[in-house]
Amino acid sequence: MSHSATPTRKTIELASAWMARLWSESVTDEDRDACKHWRQQDPEHEQAWQALVTMAERFDTLPEHASNSALLTQIHQQGRRQFLQWLGIFVSSAGLGYGINKTDLIQQTLADYSTSVGETRTIQLADGSELKLNTNTAIDVIFNGKDRLIKLHQGELFITTGHAASFRGQPFQVATRQGVIEALGTRFNVLQQEDITTVGVIEDTVLVHTQHQRIPLQAGQQLRFSDKHIDSTLALEPSKTSWIQRKLVAEQMKLSQFLTELSRYRRGILRCDEAVADLRISGVFPLDNTDKAIQQMAQALPVTLHTRTRYWLTVVANKE
């Protein structure tokens, strides 16, 4: 018997067909003879046959209590929903397709996009939706034929939902750690910070599902919520979506908040002395050049910049 080459696909399929024939309760002596004859025709046939026999014996090693198709079928059918839940992804009440195919899962369930600090990125999805990812953002995109779900792990996302015909009737949802935002044909912005989600709506309506409440949000409104608390609905601040134009819009913004905003877009430490923290700043600042933004701020306010290292910048009061 030669082991030099791997049997061809065709030979493997034929060996499988013979074995399936022999496993039948209606197998005849003629079948057995014909199978034996086939094996003797070519060493490659015999090699494939022997490998198949060895493989099939693996199944016989299971003890009786585990040799039960229901056990494996049960595992299989728990499927995708459980996988998503296991990953901590919110699953809406609409049923998700059963069947867990590893390749599909990798490509669909864990299709992820991310940006690093200072980077932005635009993604077109299969349904025609457009996602803009702001700095330091990570998302998973889950399209499974029934739902369209974006899991926002961190950072900020601007969504323009698409309306491709083949996706009609599939809810479009963005899940954060604090809740789920369901789009009703719309443009909106979602920011995930440590314990807080902030949603701003530009067009149409979204429905915010928190643990205990459902809150509709109209165009021109914004809402901040944590696990414990839901703020009142406010008018949308222009600064909330100006990142899309790569600008930071400040209107009488506290210096401390201005620096917190800017530090989302640059590496390292950016802070200020308490003495200047409450100074107010207004203006439009470039987000793709934070050095320049800081210089502009320093010219407008009575402050000095202290650079300890390249990654550590402190804003202090001007010396009298």
Give the footprint of another protein on this chain (CB under 8 A): 6, 9, 12-13, 15-17, 19-21, 23-26, 48, 51-52, 55-56, 58-59, 61-63, 65-69, 71-76, 78, 82-83, 86-88, 99-103, 105-106, 110, 112, 138, 140, 153-154
Nearer of residues 6 and 122 to another protein, judged by Cβ? 6
Cα(65)–Cα(254) distance, integer angstroms: 68
List the structure tokens of 270.
């950016």
Tokens 């299709």, residue?
111
In this structure, what are the phi and psi dihedrals at residue 53, rounded to the nearest 5 degrees? -60, -45
List the structure tokens of 108.
């669909």
Nearer of residues 19 and 298 to another protein, judged by Cβ? 19
Nearer of residues 177 and 240 to another protein, judged by Cβ? 177
CB of 190 to another protein, least distance (A): 16
In angstroms, how far is CA 284 from the centroid of its own chain? Answer: 32
Nearer of residues 91 and 248 to another protein, judged by Cβ? 91
Element (H, E) at 206: strand 205-209
Nearer of residues 175 and 250 to another protein, judged by Cβ? 175
CB of 36 to another protein, least distance (A): 18
CB of 177 to another protein, least distance (A): 10
Within 8 A by CB and 6+ apart from 40, the residues are 46
Cα(221)–Cα(269) distance, integer angstroms: 32
CB 38 within 8 A of CB 7: no
CB of 138 to another protein, least distance (A): 7
CB of 77 to another protein, least distance (A): 8
For the chain, the residue count is: 320
